[in-house]
Structure 1
Amino acid sequence: MRLSVSLGLWQDRPPEEALETARAAEAAGYPELWIGEMATWDAFALGTAIGAATSRMSLTFGPLAVTVRDPATIAMGVASVAALTGRSTGVALGTSSDVVVRGWHGRSRDRAATALAESAIAVRQLLDGQKSTVDGTVVGSRGYRLRLAAPKSPLTIAAFGPRALEVAARQADRMVVNLVSPATAGALVRGLRDAAARAEVAPPPVAAWVVGAVDPGPAEIEQLRRGVVGYLAAPGYGEMFREAGFGDLVDFARTRPHPRELLAAVPVEAIATVGLLGSREDVAAKAREYAEAGIDELVIVPATSDDDPGGGKTLAACRSAVVPFDA
């Protein structure tokens, strides 16, 4: 199993801590860092700074919301970081959420799966150095070619629903799933393989984003509990937590209580369902569960705190604990 790291971009921590996480990931020997885009940093600006602060890791941007960033700006951003830092770069595309797309950016998520497919084709063309030819029904790019050197970046597709699985099977070099249990990860791997069989193509490898905290203290536990609150009532995710034994919690979340009330009701065991939490032995056992479910790569999102700024202790411990499975 391959290991990589994603920045947590935790809202309860200093924004500049992202650079500390990047340095810690490289020091622990991780080959790749994922740089997402949420409420804080522009992903490409942060990636350029990380390229200057580290020396070896490849940088993957995203998943970027395909109805917020268009294919040309995505390709320009990836190529810019590659040119300025000299690093290998990748990009991940996804459909994000109503909160981000509609609320923050004032864009529509209608026909999001179509946008994902069209964006994947156009971004691939551009990153390969071709002139874009996608006249999409939702997004597209025609007649543009990168002026910077084409980075020929691998393309990752974030998927959870059936239509995104179809896009991943047809377009992705890698699929990524976010915050899922081993059981749900296994179901998504099977769905991808079925979609690939229908398309008569080989299925891409699958990565899973998982939160991580080794021997966590109260601050790390609180951070991770807060991180799962928004998923408990979400379609698909709620059912996943229900199947894991947290049906009462899901029912409570779907009554739309005050976030403080819901946070207080989240047990540590709910976090452990979707992450690497506990002792080194616990982490190794959970990594084995993901491997047995068909996951090829774990993307560790480390908890951070004043006791473990940047998550360096957790990253080093996870790298050590999972090394027997890390090919």
Structure 2
Amino acid sequence: MKLGLSLGYWGARPPQGVDELVTAAADMGYESIWTSEAYGSDALTPLTWQGARNPGLRLGTAVLQMSARTPTATAMAALTLDHLTGGKFALGIGASGPQVVEGWYGQPYPRPLARTREYVAILRQALARADVEFDGEHYQVPLQGGAGLGKPLHATIRPLRTDLPILLAAEGPKNVALAAEIADGWIPLFYAPDDDATYRARLAEGFARRAADDARRVEDFEVACPVQVVLDDDVEAAADTLRPMIALYVGGMGAKGANFHNEAIARLGFEAECAAIQEAYLAGRRQEAIAAVPTKMVDKIALVGPKARIAERFAQWESSLVTTLLVAGAPKALQALAQVA
């Protein structure tokens, strides 16, 4: 298992100490850095900034939101970064949720799996420098109508790699299977290593649907999984650090009945707990929602506690299908995990 550094996205302002954190992680043996986006900082700018300062590291997006860019705009960014990194870029994309897609990007959300399938098909054409031509339900390239002057174009830049890896962020069972079918990797968000067999079954379903002439090897499929690591002799104190974040995602990242993070954690055996967290959060009782996050839930999806306990739990992650662990944590936590690994 490889270790990557997860930088996520910014909060209310640019975080402090990131340059030093990335340098320290590289010295500890972390081989990649990954950024993401919601509706504030974008993923590409900080990633490029850090990549220029740390040229030996692999760069990845976890994730670029599909509604933020047309497929060809995403392909342009990927082609550019792949050249700048000497072939060390991994493109992670995701559909996000209806509140962000429609509320921030002003794009329609329905049928995200169908949109994802079309998006990846166009990406593959553009990354291979083919004439991009696609007539789908959600995307048409060239545009039908308009000035009537559009024609199929191919990228002016020659790709460094026509097989640049595309990873799909997915939480729902159908979307996880789709990642195995059409992508080169999967980025889970809330992953529980003791449910490894369930995830393997979903991926196997997608692998079985690959086209007969698909030359991609299942053995090369990457699972790049973010995980929060909190080093503290007091397990409850360590869990307290993560409860607000989990409460936000379970309770506030989506409307009731349309929160995929809530559903993903509920499937891990926390249906009642997720319902209680969401009810309190949406009612404005955020402290109650935070307090309703049980330590067992935190422990299921994160690595918390003293170093010996983290080492014991890490053994499950190491034997899971995860190939790259995207670690988020303070420098001491990063160091402890590097030593354990």
Q: Which TM bucket (shorter chain)?
A: 0.7 to 0.9
Matched, 1:254 2:268: no
**One-letter amino acid of the structure 1 residue matched with residue 247 of structure 2:** V
Cα displacement (A) at 1:274: 0.6
Distance (whole Å) between structure 2 residues aligned to residue 37 and residue 147 of structure 1: 28
Is the deviation greater in 216-225 or in 180-189?
216-225
Normalising by structure 1, we get a TM-score of 0.83
Question: Which has the higher Rg, Structure 1 or Structure 2?
Answer: 2
Distance (whole Å) between structure 2 residues aligned to residue 27 and residue 77 of structure 1: 28
Q: Deviations over 1:200-235 (max 9, x none)?
A: 675434232211122278997555222111333575
- Which residue of structure 2 lines up, in the alignment, with residue 55 of structure 1? 55
Q: 2:225 aligned to 201, 205, 208, which one?
A: 208
Q: Which structure would you say has the larger RCO, counting Cα contacts within 8 Å and 6 or more residues apart?
A: 1
Matched, 1:161 2:172: yes
**One-letter amino acid of the structure 2 residue matched with residue 215 of structure 1:** D
Instruction: Summarize the Cα distance change of 1:178–1:185 in structure 2 as closer, same or farther, 3 Å threshold.
Output: farther
Tell me, what secondary structure is at the counterpart of 1:67?
helix
**One-letter amino acid of the structure 1 residue matched with residue 246 of structure 2:** V
Q: Deviations over 1:93-144 (max 9, x none)?
A: 1111223212222222111111111111221222233332332221354523
Gaps of 5+ in 1: 303-310, 323-327
Query: Does the CA contact (< 8 Å) of 1:155 and 1:174 recur in 2?
Result: yes
Distance (whole Å) between structure 2 residues aligned to residue 205 and residue 108 of structure 1: 30
Matches within 5 A, 1:45-194: 45-84=45-84, 86=86, 88-139=88-139, 141-142=141-142, 143-152=152-161, 153-194=164-205
Instruction: Summarize the Cα distance change of 1:197–1:105 in structure 2 as closer, same or farther, 3 Å threshold.
Output: same
Gaps of 5+ in 2: 143-151, 252-257
- Which residue of structure 2 lines up, in the alignment, with residue 289 of structure 1? 316
Instruction: Summarize the Cα distance change of 1:282–1:113 in structure 2 as closer, same or farther, 3 Å threshold.
Output: same
Normalising by structure 2, we get a TM-score of 0.80
Query: Does the CA contact (< 8 Å) of 1:88 and 1:151 recur in 2?
Result: no
Identical amino acids, percent of aligned pairs:
26
Cα displacement (A) at 1:159: 1.9
- Which residue of structure 1 lines up, in the alignment, with residue 149 of structure 2? none
- Which residue of structure 2 lines up, in the alignment, with residue 320 of structure 1? 339
- Could you say what the CA RMSD is over the residues aligned between the two structures, in angstroms? 2.9
Distance (whole Å) between structure 2 residues aligned to residue 48 and residue 242 of structure 1: 36
Distance (whole Å) between structure 1 residues aligned to residue 316 and residue 237 of structure 2: 26
Cα displacement (A) at 1:91: 0.3
Distance (whole Å) between structure 1 residues aligned to residue 13 and residue 20 of structure 2: 12
Count how many residue pairs are aligned between Structure 1 and Structure 2.
314
Instruction: Summarize the Cα distance change of 1:23–1:127 in structure 2 as closer, same or farther, 3 Å threshold.
Output: farther
Query: Does the CA contact (< 8 Å) of 2:34 and 2:47 recur in 1?
Result: no
**One-letter amino acid of the structure 2 residue matched with residue 321 of structure 1:** V
Distance (whole Å) between structure 2 residues aligned to residue 21 and residue 103 of structure 1: 33
**One-letter amino acid of the structure 2 residue matched with residue 78 of structure 1:** A
- Which residue of structure 2 lines up, in the alignment, with residue 308 of structure 1? none
Distance (whole Å) between structure 1 residues aligned to residue 112 and residue 191 of structure 2: 21
Distance (whole Å) between structure 2 residues aligned to residue 139 and residue 75 of structure 1: 15
- Which residue of structure 2 lines up, in the alignment, with residue 307 of structure 1? none
Is the deviation greater in 16-25 or in 256-265?
16-25
Instruction: Summarize the Cα distance change of 1:241–1:113 in structure 2 as closer, same or farther, 3 Å threshold.
Output: closer
Q: 2:242 aligned to 224, 234, 240, which one?
A: 224
Cα displacement (A) at 1:267: 3.8
